[in-house]
Structure 1
Amino acid sequence: MPFTFPAAPHADSQASVCAACHAAGTGCLLDVRQVKNNRSTKFQITQHRLLACAFESFTPGSIGDPDPTRTFKAYREQGYKNLEEAGKIIFPSDFELTTAQKGKVDGDVFEMLEAAALWNVAAAWNSFMDTGVWSHPTLKKPQGAVPTPKRKVAIIKMPRGGDTTQLLTPSARAEYQAFEASLSGRGMELRLSTPDILGMRIPDPAPPGFEIFDRPIPNLTIASQQRIERALDTVRGAFEGRHFLFAIAVKTSVRSDRLYQALFEANVLKYILGYVLRGPAIRFYAHMESLEGADVRGRYSAASMTSLLTGGTPTRAIDETYQALKPLETSQRVLDDLPTYVL
């Protein structure tokens, strides 16, 4: 299915495609009119199908994208436009979809678009690490990059409510559990947070299955989305504290009453990885599409508690607040950082 549909009576017009898709039970809209849930909602968006339909032939901002310079917003708006047209085609007399309904999936759609683009950053980097040849047509080779297979990376979308400790080797996890048990005995806890995206140094030699991070995501079909979402199953139990490079909190925007969530996550992550698991200083980034509605840059200039405790030069808890407007620019920003990690 195309990102933009040709006009009827073309065989691939949206009327033809959406009707066939709905008849096959693979449509992007779920009819809930008969569900007695005391809600006024008539239709629900099937997020994975929405993405699979709009991006069947390319990943936004990556190889194969006819116009990789577009914004995250432009990609999503076209997807929603396709969705609303599909509703009018399939349910011509009763279809309605509110802004609030789109808002329920918008953050997750934004996160998937960024996660796919950054997966492809890792694939481009790993290819250069293996071959010493930079051949990517849209991303530029980062300054200072030295090819060596020992510096390959995995950029992983973490599941909502996931457990970061599942990434740890048995010995590293035992260290964390001993720390957790000592606090629990005093009626306290300090649990390792789960960011939206984690950047990891692939162990050398790479465990079986890690070759998936050498292959780019060519599109956002259901199979491609599953590859991104199930990456945790591949890397489970493979990492020590020293393998964590960066974490990213991904948001379209943030309310003022939720500003401190990312600061708390950053401080906890840096303390546990740096002190309990004795890894290098992980970097924590906030990637936000909109900075309006709250003093994001002001609040996110807060110092890291761990850096203050050491008595050395203070650093920020959130190392960079980045306005993520375009997949290609966001990809290049993350790629340019990869040569700067010492270990």
Structure 2
Amino acid sequence: MKVLFLTNTAGQGHHSTAKALYDMLKSEGVECRIIDTYEYTDPVRYKIIDRGYLMATSKLPKAYGMFYRAFEKMPKRESLYSPMNVDNFILGLKLKKFFDNEFNPDVIVCTHVFSAQVVNVMKARGWIKAPIIGIVTDYTIHPFWEDVPYVDYIVIASEMLTMQAVKRGISKEKILPLGIPVNPKFSKKIDKAEARDMLGIDRDKLTVLLMSGSMGYGNIANVLAQIDSIDADFQIIAVCGNNNNARLRIKNMKTRKKVYCYGFVNNIDVMMDAADCIVTKPGGLTTSEALAKNLPIVMINPIPGQEERNVEFLLNNGLAINATKTVPVDEALYQLFMYPEKLENMKANIRLIGKPNASRDIANFILSLGSKNNNV
């Protein structure tokens, strides 16, 4: 069986989603490939999208949010002769060479709607027969997923988003509410005291995990200073990602609390097990990892657009609290710590709604499609 993962570089989450499933299926003996659709078909566009996304979300977030909301309101555009699909036709011609000459998959998995748009046109033209699965990597339905009728299945984060998907024009029969796939290590739980011992921190002290994401967005040092001002006894794990300036600034800060500061790390799963809550941007992947670990979330600095939609979903379902200009992060955490029952209630909601086994469930579904194709 051969599975092709098509992704697009717009932040790290889409590739990480593909990699989680890739690793799961490789362990089952499945032949897999991951390619960035734009990098393969149009390297110039790939660089523009990659740099443009980082620029828009970090330097022009309000403008990014405005365009995102405008796209949300646009009607369905299924015509193969629309300007967008004419463009995707051209990209599909280039991608077809990969299918014909290098790797002809039994199943195609798209972790970004841009990739789904290209293979949607290819399947409409009869160039490919393999079933196509699209994976939505946030707690909402992104614009354009309603415009890919030849994508056979669309995986969404929760069954509670099914109504939104149907209202957007997606056939209910295509919807698979299996969750957002994350690395399987986030589905395994380590005892809190053991995780703290592994990190070399106080095993008996309340612990806050502060993250800025892999790209180091946000002024994490200022957030840390606010958290440090809380009149309570706890320790802080601060993960700065690739933001070396923030890491150096935190290293030189004088704090009331014990702060353990890191740059980019590969053991976030252990840190989540060691923590009592996480303070982070509400990106789809980080959020899903925290939910898989049954870890209450304090959300900060959402990017206008899809992360604002994540905030709405998490708040409405009691999975997180949100720090704002009028309720800053120190007040939000203070309120969360006031009653231990609040943390327990959030954990109960997470157990009800979270999808810790999403990677395994989606992998099993992919394997079932391969079995069906082999029996035809």
- Considering fraction of residues, name the structure with more helix: 2
TM-score, normalised to structure 1, is 0.28
Higher relative contact order (CA 8 A, sep 6+): 1
